[in-house]
Structure 1
Amino acid sequence: MSRSRREVFLSTRNTLLYSDPERLIGIGRAVTVGFALLAMYLDPTQPRKFQYEVSTLLAAYAVFAAVLLLRPIDRPTRSLAHLWVHLIDSLVLGLLAFLSNELTSPFFSFFSFPLLAMTMRWGLKGTILGAAILEVMLLVIGIPDILDGNSELNYLIVRGAYFLVFATMLGYFAAYREQSRARLISLANWPTDNLAYDQYAWLSRMCRHATTVLDGEELIVVWREQESPRGCVAHWQGGQLSIHRNADPNYWSSVETHAFARLPARGARLIDRANLAEMKLALGIAGTSSITKEPTVIAASFHTLRFTGLCAISNPDSRPEDALSLVEIIASHFAGELERFDLVSQVSDIARSEEREKLARDLHDGVLQDLTAITLKLRNAHVPLPEQTPVLREIELLIAEQQRRIRHFVEDQRDRRSSHTFDAASELRVLVGRLANQWAIDVEIEEIDLPTKLPRGVLENVEQLVSEATANAVRHGAARQVLVRLSGDSEKLALVIRDDGKGLAEEKLDTGSSSLRSRLEKFGGSMSIGRAFPGLEITMNIPMRGRA
């Protein structure tokens, strides 16, 4: 297309797009009346009878069209005034056809005007309503014409079929426009409040919204960091999300070959069954799809400052050319949200680190100095009774232990080394010894079965859970013995704490300690409580990385 033709095309398109629909309908009505008057003037022999009535009706309709052209109805689309106007249009055209040779009337050519006007105003609903009105009018005009002895059944069949086909094709465009509008609204309403959630909940909402836009059956989102072989695979199917994190360079090398390299740098493309199978195999996604027909999978890649990835949707409920554009837009949304989530996470980490440093400084300058002062006073205290000396000594040891823990926390904040791991067995044995001395009960480690050492953050959570569960067993259950069992692998841990206390009432077994549940839920863990006869047995599942 040459430049001049393209400019003419764009100018015409923009003129039609930005025109007021109400004004276009008014112009269409005026043009319809104008050509009808012109036909009557040039060929007054048609119709052969009722010429005066037809002329009078056309003149009145011309006045009606002129008034609406000069003073359009300024009311919302849902107003009944618009419906009455369209009913008048249909009635006038029906009367013109009835008064001028009925089924062979030349005014049947104008019957498409009210149908087009209703479609422009009300979309698919307008098309259905307009088609129903026209078919009823056609039967009202045609049946008497058939029964008058001069059957014109062929006109009735042909005109009826024509209006049905015309209404069906017009309804397609109306439905397509409404679907496109709904999807644009859905894309514009992309969830932006996901930063308040952890990554699992955030991805769940994003995937649910993306599949809703296109009514897809399955969604795969893959991304990895640009500068390191670390990334994630999110698979959404049947309303369930599974996340697989991986930092293996060989894994991402295979993904690069069988997934990223098959997609263009910009835009989306259709993925056939063979390429889809190779992509899922490389990503480690099991072929759980129950689809028997040939799947339609559209994938688009995305690239940001930190991430590169792809988004693939199977069987989108849309035309292929539209689905390509929509999947590309959805991939861009994922790319932007990944960058935003990562940025907010970094800011949150910085703010959290600053708060922890401030807390450490306050502990060092306040609580630690007060504990030191209390220790000195205990050492210099006058003890009148010799039997009180061991008690004061125990109190001094407890304070010294708290000093050690606070000092360790302060020093740890000054030099955080999150990647270091610690021997859980030795750390927990020290902990249970301190807890046994603190609560004057028997606290033992029944079993520790761990394949690897624990990261510091996970170990700190385990220690806090053991300490709190022990305190609850003594204070609320009057327990005299607590047994701790810890086992797990590189993905999750199972912490079991059993005591010989009084236990809990039956109705409280499902709730238990709200503080323990709250701590577990923060990093994606879970807890169950059962009776141990006597006492309770608390089982806690702790993810190694947590969901956030």
Structure 2
Amino acid sequence: MATGRAVLALAFLVVLLVDPTAPVRSNVHGLGFPLISLYLTWAAALMIIAWQSWWFDYRLAPLALGIDIAVFLGAVYLTESRSSEFQSPFLAFAAFVLIAAMVRWNWRATALTAIVLLIANVLLGLMLYSFGFEVDPFRFFRRIFYIILLSSMLLWLSMSRGGERVQAMPEPPGVPGERRDLVFDSALTFVSSLLDAKRAAFAFAGSEEPWIDLRMLGPEGFTSRQLDPELFAEELLALHRTALFSTARQRELVQSEDGTLLIARAGAKSGAVCPQLAVHLGIDEGLVVPVHCATGSGQIIIWEAETLSFDDIRLFAAFGEEIGRALDREEMSRLARVEVETGVRQAVARDLHDSVAQFLAGTLFRLEALRRWIREGHDPDGEIDSIKNALRREQSQLRLLIERLRRGQESDRRTEITDELKALLAEAGAHWSITTELLSPDAPLPVSVQLSHEIRQLVREAIANAARHGQCKKVIVRIGHADGQLRLSISDDGIGFSEIAAARRPRSISERVEALGGQFELHSTSRGARLEILLKSGEMA
């Protein structure tokens, strides 16, 4: 902005010098050149200040805007005549003044600048007319219309532009959920490149960590260490705002709470407090950006930059919010991974419990019965062959389970659940030495391979519970389909559940039905138990 002001003033002066027909008012001949020359000198000084000191650049901004308006109107009226209709820099200067107010402050400052510019134009025109200067009424009112139109457009633009646009930070490599340190490094690399800064630091105080992580980027590369939380935790966890600071001069340029204004503070009396981390690192001047996320808070400090400007405050405030969102996304990915891993562990645990564990328990019962059979003098070969065959079938089922875990089951494959339950009931009846019966409709019941596996595990667990704990002699399984749902009923003639056991309900069955998004009811009497299970057919929960 300061450079643009200087270029505009230089162009205006050069045109007046090189163009022999450059219009100047005859009765004030010679005043235009000195005025523009002084303005060019002032603009050059502001440009140097802007490149050297962000503090004085901001502090001199209101004065610079006032001089812009005064010199703009005075120079235009002093260096034009009736024949210079399309040579006047009026619109260029008006646009510069309004855009400067819009960029440096907000829409309120833009509106105020437009009002001041309009009133000053009217007053100057009336004053020149009263002193006998030539003022074209047509051009005068047309300029008022230009100012109103240009102000309205820029005011609308200022109000509708919203937050600052931030260049997106590159996505760090690696697996989401395991890249927190990589997010820190990407943030430091990105902010350093934006400001062409030699050094940057990211201090982060996690809500569950006892120490503060400090990650630094310098010419030597990345370094990290831990800081004492007693020194910096309170400051890092507080809701600070993005600011330019100078520890040597105790100056601070910070956003207002609503983010619409910049507030300049200096000295202890004004409450200006430079970041303690910057003091600890020996930083004289820099930019501090707070970062807040669900897992903690921190600060990014950038120093030894080529240039620092008040423009950087709003830009990096938005960037700090983006860093916080990136850390939140990383935490959400980590939690999602933990949730998935927990779900997988629970599913494997249920499968092992309902298949291998229950089969081994049944095998122990059969071995005890075999021992008694041998003691009674009977031939054990038939029972041994039966147990061996059962072990082979269980080994095949276990291999299928392992293969399913390795490659996943194809969800679009379907199988006939009735046929699979018939084979399962025959095997379970022989294994537990009980009678089993399947009641199913005549029509086929095709279900997905996934749902078939879940139903078979439910039936195996229910039969094992009935035989081991319910001391039953017979188990009846009923399965039916209606309104897109499978109804599975498993009843036995055992002693039923105790009141405590019935209140708790079978854990494995309850968890499996819940994971499938189904419903489970347990009915128990002294004459047996009945499990009523309702599942969505053909889809997993």
TM-score bucket (shorter structure): 0.3 to 0.5
Q: Which has the higher contact order (CA 8 A, sep 6+)?
A: 2
TM-score by length of 2: 0.41
Bigger radius of gyration? 2
Structure in which a larger fraction of residues adopt helix: 1
